[in-house]
Structure 1
């Protein structure tokens, strides 16, 4: 574990001296709006203005009735519709809706970026297909791996979406004094990635303090930039303050079932003030590779990657996962 912290310290020092590893710019992001959903149309326009997305990068599609899940054939038509309207400069896609968020057993963002993985659906608890974008060298862009990254911008509330967009944009103005919280909980089955939690300590040049704790939850913290844990539901979220650009997620089976009620939805993190999150849409079992790797996520974000880049780089087997939030947040990009 000390080696992990040492690597993070070296990465932070390198980032301070050399600049950011993440290179995604608004001109490289496509915005996909569902014209059959009024919130998608309104929020898409808010995002376009806030981030200065070029008009040529706006794609309009029609998905009636907001289904939670698409079958493979429906999805391929949607994917073709999107891709046919994109230029070669596009590195990433932001889908402005909450649902659909699944393609059979795949997360819709994974299915878009990597292609639909039918083999995973034959047995969702089997190991996943490795992502070629897992923990690449700093500076590697999605096109270098012949892919476009993707993320969902949720549309359940226009006001919450507006606040999320503002948090993402505000993250680019300053590096705050912040905390990173990694919790080893009493839920042993959901602690499979705890082996990758960095030890407690300060990260120089980034004003970040790491807290590796044996707790089921934290309460009353006001400095959160990272929060990763393993629980069916995470308590006391309403007592916390997340900083602009904060990343937060919980290892559980159905966090990516965004509108489900069986387990805590990853949307709860955004509602609590985080800027991006991740969850799985079908039973993954507790392979750590199907969830964000804490050390990899921390390293790439500290090196200046955007939220979408850091999250995608941190998941080794992402086919069942869905990435949500504001993709261009980058609090550690060198200014």
Structure 2
């Protein structure tokens, strides 16, 4: 089993043109900008808390004014916002953290993908069509803005200040030591939501990382206390209150509207953060179940284990990200020691 895991880590377990992650440095705090919405007191408080927790330079903070917490922006409203943000950024900034809960969509696009890759109007004509490929998918690029002209982005929800600060605290301590942990991959009874199951890594132990990989046939985990990765396919994920997520944990569910943070029809990806995860992902409009529109389990785990941040690992794992919203603490990096 250890031999097969070594081969998987090296060659990508069947992902076309997979590249083995190198040991180059990941995203640094000095390369991250924080965008604060001055129309929301929670954004101001949480943004400053994040800046201090991760020692972000004060010069990296950008202030915008978005009143009334709209869920979605239209293309022109977003274009004005993006110009405002980008106009304040220096060339060394490789990534951006937006500190608010809404807006989280630009028409049918997520706000994070619209900011990073540009608004994709064609996707909105038919949201179930294939998406545009991301040049950053499964990449080992270490300076995405410098090398590719794209700034990665993530959103940190701030509906509840204490919950947002808890996410930040988990992200901050995630790199202090490498814990004994497990990565859980669930094949569920909701068959159409198992479309990425073919990319689940094989069972076994990655001994150097102290990580056990577990494939499970069930609709939910119950009582697991060592979670670093939890990936499943369900519209609603049960028993989250029985679980313990380790600092830096990534968790997401393949469903249509996980990125609709204020929607009620399916479970929001924000529930993962509330349960103890440090970062997550979900789509804001109907994507259909293309695996390419969701985090590829093989790619996500390989890159995260290489020591890069949650932001880099999640962005590298989605081939067609136009509809996908990345949320949480972008600088979480529990395996950072392995990139040195």
TM-score after normalising by structure 1 = 0.95
Matches within 5 A, 1:38-187: 38-137=41-140, 139=142, 141-187=144-190
Once the two structures are TM-superposed, the CA of residue 137 in structure 1 deviates from its matched residue by 2.8
Structure 1 pair 324/4, CA: closer, same or farther in 2 (3 Å)?
A: farther
Q: How many residue pairs were aligned?
A: 330
Matches within 5 A, 1:1-335: 5-10=5-10, 20-137=23-140, 139=142, 141-334=144-337
Structure 1 pair 53/117, CA: closer, same or farther in 2 (3 Å)?
A: same
Q: Distance in 1 between matches of 2:161 and 2:11?
A: 37
For 1:15, the equivalent position in structure 2 comes to none
Q: Distance in 1 between matches of 2:164 and 2:25?
A: 24
Once the two structures are TM-superposed, the CA of residue 2 in structure 1 deviates from its matched residue by 9.6
Once the two structures are TM-superposed, the CA of residue 145 in structure 1 deviates from its matched residue by 1.3
SS, match of residue 205 in structure 1: helix
Once the two structures are TM-superposed, the CA of residue 143 in structure 1 deviates from its matched residue by 2.7
Give the root-mean-square deviation of aligned CA atoms. Answer: 1.8
Unmatched 5+ residue regions in structure 1?
Answer: 13-17
TM-score after normalising by structure 2 = 0.94
Q: Distance in 2 between matches of 1:3 and 1:193?
A: 23
Paired residues of 2:22 and 2:140 also in contact (CA < 8 A): no
Q: Distance in 1 between matches of 2:2 and 2:134?
A: 27
Paired residues of 2:246 and 2:277 also in contact (CA < 8 A): yes
Once the two structures are TM-superposed, the CA of residue 288 in structure 1 deviates from its matched residue by 0.2
Unmatched 5+ residue regions in structure 2?
Answer: 13-20
Paired residues of 2:104 and 2:110 also in contact (CA < 8 A): yes
Q: Distance in 2 between matches of 1:110 and 1:3?
A: 37
Structure 1 pair 122/2, CA: closer, same or farther in 2 (3 Å)?
A: farther
Paired residues of 2:187 and 2:217 also in contact (CA < 8 A): yes
Structure 1 pair 155/91, CA: closer, same or farther in 2 (3 Å)?
A: same
